[in-house]
Amino acid sequence: MKKLENLRWQGRWVSDLACLRSCLDYLGINVSDGWLYGASGHTFALNIHKELCPSGPTAWKKERIYELAQNVGCKIRTLSAFKDTPDFADSQKAAWEQVKNAIDEGLPCYGWELDIPEYYLINGYDGDNYLYSGCTQEQGTKHWKELAQTGIGMLEIHIVSPAESANDKQAVRQGLEFAIDHNKEPAKYTINNLYKCGLDGYDQWIKALDNDRINAGGMEYNVQVWAECRQNASAFLKEAKERIDSNGGALFDEVIGSFEVVARQLGRL
C-alpha cells in the first residue's frame, strides 16, 4: 500500500478543478481559486446539452484547459482510452502502472468516474486497487481492471507535476484567448451535436426551458457549475487587474461588472 497522506479532496462544483486544486495544494503551489479557474480558461466555459443533461459540465473537449494549467504552475499528463477499443485492457494496465509510478514519486493524480461520473482524487494504491476520494467518497477503492467498465466507458487519468508558471500577462492573455475561441469556434469543444458551447450554449439553455425539455437534476447541476465558473471569472479579472501594470483598468472594470451580473443572475436561478 502507498498513499499520499496530505492529498485531500477540496470540494468544488467543478470536480475537475476541485481535484486540480487539491493537487496544487499538495504540491505547495499557491494560487487563488480565481486564478486557477481563470488562467486555465475554465471559468469562461459553457457547455449545455439540449435537454440540460447533467453531462453538460463534463462532456466537452478540455484539452486546452489542461494545456493552460501551466499558467498556474503545473503540468498535466493525461492518459485516456475507451473501453470499446481493441487494446483497452492494455490501456487499463498501462494507466495503472503509470499511476503507481507517479504516486511512488510523490506526484498526485486524479481520474474520471472512479465512482459516479465525476472526477476523483487518486490518493494512492493498495494491492490491485486505486485508493480514491471525492464528492461521494471520503475513501474508496476500485480495482484497476474495473476502471472505465461503465456505460460511459471512458478511461481518463491526469498526473500532475510542478512546472514553471507563465508570467501574469501571458496567463491573463491566454485565459481570455480561450474565452474568445470557446465562443467563436464552439465546434472545437463540443463532442457531438447534442451539446452547444459558449454563447450558443446560453441559447440552447433558453430553448430547452421554452420547450420544457428539462432534466430537473441536470438543470440544478448546470446552474451550480456555471455559476461557480462565473463567480470565479470576476475574481480572476479583479486579480488580473491588480497583477498587471497597464492602463486598462477601465476595461477590466467593465468586464468584471458584466461577469458579476451574470454570476448574480445564475445565483438567483
- DSSP annotation of 57: T
| 173 — pLDDT class (breaks 50, 70, 90) | very high
What is the rounded radius of gyration, in angstroms, for the C-alpha atoms of the chain? 19
Distance of CA 234 to the CA centre of its chain: 18
Please choose, from the candidates 180, 157, 154, the residue with its C-alpha nearest in 3D space to the C-alpha of residue 45. 180
Segment 23-41, tens digit of pLDDT: 999 999 999 999 999 999 9
Residue 211: what pLDDT? 80
Cα distance between residue 45 and residue 164, in whole Å: 25
Q: What is the pTM of this model?
A: 0.94
Please choose, from the candidates 165, 126, 123, 121, the residue with its C-alpha nearest in 3D space to the C-alpha of residue 12. 121
Residue 127: what pLDDT? 96
Sequence-distant contacts of 22-25: CB under 8 A, at least 24 apart? 22/108, 22/110, 22/121, 23/74, 23/108, 23/109, 23/110, 23/121, 23/160, 24/72, 24/73, 24/74, 24/160
Segment 43-77, tens digit of pLDDT: 999 999 999 999 999 999 999 999 999 999 999 99
CB 74 within 8 A of CB 61: no
CB 115 within 8 A of CB 140: yes
Cα distance between residue 94 and residue 119, in whole Å: 19
Residue 140: what pLDDT? 95
Residue 250: what pLDDT? 87
Distances (CA, A) of 101 to 2, 58, 94, 97, 104: 11, 27, 11, 6, 5
CB atoms within 10 A of CB 225: 22
**Count of alpha carbons within 13 angstroms of residue 95, beta-carbon side:** 29
Which residue in this structure is represented by grid cell 438543470? 219
Residue 146: what pLDDT? 97
Q: Is residue 19 scored above 80 in pLDDT?
A: yes
Segment 184-225, tens digit of pLDDT: 999 999 999 999 999 999 999 999 988 877 888 999 999 999
CB 47 within 8 A of CB 196: yes
Mean pLDDT of the chain: 95
What percent of the chain stands above pLDDT 70?
99
Residue 214: what pLDDT? 83
CB 128 within 8 A of CB 43: no
- DSSP annotation of 218: H
